[in-house]
Chain A
Amino acid sequence: MSKIDKKKLKRESILKTALKLFSANGFHKTTIPDIANALNMSVGNLYNYFKSKDILAKEIIKYTSEVLGQEIQKVNMQNISSKEKIKKIVELYFKMAKEKPEMIEYFLRVYLSHREVFSDGCEGMLCVSGFVTEIMIFFDSGVESGELRDQDFFSAFGLFMGYLGGMVFLKGENILPKKLDEYINDISENIYNALKA
């Protein structure tokens, strides 16, 4: 393995570890020494990769957005109806919430809750564009094929992603009586009914 590849791997492992710690313990309660400690590396060495906690936080949201975007891209590339795509996106979102809860938790509990950290460098959609772009492509192809209704982007985006985020949030608060998976059919149907032409 080359030196550059090694550095890339290390960088990713820092992102993953910090992601877990921030999601579990909160942004302010997690310190750089906590993260270094969990990785068995020195604080000084960690600073070689990320100059500050704020920078690390911004890189994490970009990273999670890219990972989620890549999963949605796989759905977008499939030759299936928008209705089927909706179900697949709901499935993968809930699967991620179950298997990598820190990904979604981070978005809801760090990114959305600490805007002061992200105001400089993550303006607008800047750090979540990997994921938002794929949702745009999903909407665009659905409208072009005539399956989805042409409407304001944010009305549709809020309905789709707000709904999924809300459900995961409720799950995280242990309010949901059933498992997330048991809601997939109903939620997919509701989203489709709201978006269809």
Chain B
Amino acid sequence: MARKPKLLWIQSLTCNGNSHSFFNHSDLFSILSHFELIYFPLIETKYTIEDVLQKRVHSDILIIEGAIKEGLIKSGVDIKELIYHYAKESRFIITAGTCATFGGIFKQYEPGNISGFAFDKENKKEDIFNLYEHRLISLPGCPIHPKWLSYVLLMIANRRRIPLDEMSRPQELYAFTVHTGCARNEYFEWKIDTHGFGHKEGCLFYENGCQGPFTHGSCNKILWNDASSKTNVGTPCFGCTEPDFPKEKLFSTKTNMGIPQKMPLGISKRAYLTVTGIAKSFKIKRLEKKVIDYKK
């Protein structure tokens, strides 16, 4: 029987959100059974962190969690140098989360000194990207959905090719916008706003800061906890998979005289405003009512 690929998870500057998210996968151990788990912060393996730090282990699939900070020492080891060491021998390098991919929230602390593994926001770090372009898989998200990672791992385990975009993101997961599959799409079509948060009715794009229409991701296709998503429960999409995450004022839409500054992905403002003007001209009674009239 062929040797199982060695899976090594290394944490740089991180809140542990991605490891915890993946740890919640309902089929975690079935997925991991395809690999020899070298190190994962939440599961015991036959190797210790000391073995990893002393470079006594090997890696076929390296998962990086957390942003890269120049000169960051963890447990007495230069963590960037350690990541570079294992990256060289790995057949696949997966950056799990927006911090590891683009710099993310941690980048805000010291923008000039903190970045993703192969990207600094949307810019490629040419030396690293060119070196690892054919082995790199970007999985931005804050955190990643456990099934985004399991999709990638199972594709690798089954020796299937993963179609990637220009930022090395799997197209199966990121070629869509978060708007795709949103349960509020009918309200978006007819430009009916929700007034507040947590309501069943209305769209969050016009006032409440929803970034779903221009954010790459599958949050409304692959539901969280197999049940729901931010927009489904009446909270705006924060655009957490994007290179410029986090932006400011996440609960309000930046508008210019009432016109949203940022358009749905690939839609010109003229096209959007024309369609909006038409849709808004109609009063759709069904959509202006509460979906459920709760009796007190």
Identify the A interface with B (CB < 8 A).
73, 123-126, 129-130, 132-134, 136-137, 139-144, 148, 150-153, 156
> How far is B255's CA from A87's CA once the two chains are assembled, in angstroms?
25
B258 touches A123 (CB 8 A): no
Knowing that A123-B283, A133-B273, A153-B259 are A-B contacts, what are 13 other residue pairs whose CB atoms are under 8 Å apart, sorted by A's residue number? A124-B280, A124-B281, A125-B281, A126-B278, A129-B274, A130-B274, A133-B270, A137-B273, A139-B257, A140-B256, A141-B256, A142-B256, A144-B261
> How far is B296's CA from A55's CA once the two chains are assembled, in angstroms?
49
B256 touches A144 (CB 8 A): yes
A153 touches B258 (CB 8 A): yes
Closest 4 CB pairs of A and B: A124-B281, A143-B256, A129-B277, A153-B258
> How far is B258's CA from A144's CA once the two chains are assembled, in angstroms?
12
For chain B, give the interface size range.
10 to 19
| Nearest CB in chain B: distance from A148 CB, A | 8
B269 proximal to A (CB < 8 A): yes
Are A133 and B274 also in contact (CB < 8 A) when A124-B280, A124-B281 are?
yes
Residue of B whose beta carbon sits closest to that of A157: B257
> How far is B273's CA from A129's CA once the two chains are assembled, in angstroms?
9
Residue of B whose beta carbon sits closest to that of A128: B277
B109 proximal to A (CB < 8 A): no
Residue of B whose beta carbon sits closest to that of A153: B258
| Nearest CB in chain A: distance from B222 CB, A | 34
B270 touches A137 (CB 8 A): yes
A selection of 14 A-B contacts at a CB cut-off of 8 Å is A123-B282, A125-B281, A126-B278, A132-B277, A133-B270, A133-B274, A136-B259, A136-B277, A137-B269, A140-B259, A140-B269, A144-B261, A148-B257, A153-B257
A143 touches B257 (CB 8 A): yes
> How far is B269's CA from A133's CA once the two chains are assembled, in angstroms?
9
A129 touches B278 (CB 8 A): yes
B282 touches A151 (CB 8 A): no
Residues of A close to B277: CB separation below 8 A: 124-126, 129, 132-133, 136
Q: Which of the residues B256, B269, B273, B281 comes within 8 Å of A123, measured between beta carbons?
A: B281
Q: Mark B251-290, 1 if CB is under 8 A from A, else 0.
A: 0000111110100000001100110011011110000000
Residues of B close to A130: CB separation below 8 A: 274
Residues of B close to A156: CB separation below 8 A: 257
